[in-house]
Amino acid sequence: MGTEMTEDDSLMPKWDVALEALLAEEFEERGVEMRIADFQRLAREYGIRFDDIVDTLFRMCIEGAWGYRDANGQERTLTQEDYDRLFVRGRTREKDMAEYDGSWFLIVPPA
């Protein structure tokens, strides 16, 4: 099986678009960068698995739709390697996010 991308593949979203909309709405309503505690609250409030939010958030960062600033306020590009390291055991837990104690921000509003 080859690795060629079909037209159908290019139409498939790279992340959960419902979570994308929820995160964008929350970011725009709050008007400030978001932190892990905000994502934990949203997970509890909407009955969403925290790691599903993190999965979507990281995928959006990798694609340039969202950005991340470390705890010192420096923008940091998140890569596929960061994602792979975070999801090495499958599900990501809240304690796995300890090194991501900075803030997250929307760059490109959803279409």
The pLDDT of residue 2 is 45
Q: Between 13 and 64, whose confidence is greater?
A: 64
Q: Whole-model pTM? A: 0.85
- 68 in a domain, yes or no? yes
pLDDT value of residue 10 = 62
Residue whose entry in the numeric block shows the structure tokens 């959960």: 16
Mean pLDDT of the chain: 88
Q: Considering the domain boundaries, does residue 5 fall inside one?
A: no
92 belongs to a structural domain: yes
Number of domains in the chain: 1
With respect to residue 64, please indicate whether it lies within any of the assigned structural domains: yes
Mean of pLDDT values over 45-69: 96
Report yes or no on 8 lying in a domain: no
Range of the domain at 54: 13-106
In this predicted structure, what is the pLDDT of residue 90? Answer: 76
**Residue 2 placed within a domain:** no
In a domain? residue 4? no
Q: What's the Cα-to-Cα distance from 4 to each of 9, 10, 47, rounded to whole Å?
A: 9, 11, 37
